[in-house]
Amino acid sequence: MLPPACIVFYFTKILRGRDSEQMDLIHLKDLSFKGYHGVFPEEAGKGQCFIVNLTLEADLSAAIISDDVDQTVNYAEVFSMVRDIVEKQRCHLLEALSGKIIAALFSHFPAIMGIRIRIDKPEAPIDGDFDSVGIEIHRTR
């Protein structure tokens, strides 16, 4: 039987031995906020619903071993940052909105190595029948 320190070392070695291109993923799904983004003046005045989906790429090996929230990306902090940007800032384009979110998350969380963001706009001012329109962007450090 291996002593605990050897087990941790062995487990860490197994995790670190993975393909360096492979990252662990954190998903935040269907975050719903009211924002004032859009090209048209009525979008800025009335506001509408925006649905944000995030996939964060990070090495979660330390959190797996330590069971310590300080060793991972705190989901509550991510949610709060995204909410503040969507609800308190204004952009004409979803592309610009996603860029602000990506920049803020990269700046605040050094452990995040990649971000995939999808923003859907179910109430877009389009004359037609649709569930939503949106964008999806993937960026890495």
Catalytic residues, which ones?
121
Q: Which residue has the tokens 């996603």?
A: 98
Closest CA to 120 of 41, 35, 44, 40: 35
Length of the chain (residues)? 141
List 135's β-bridge partners, or say none.
Answer: 119
Cα 81 to Cα 41: distance, rounded to the nearest angstrom: 25
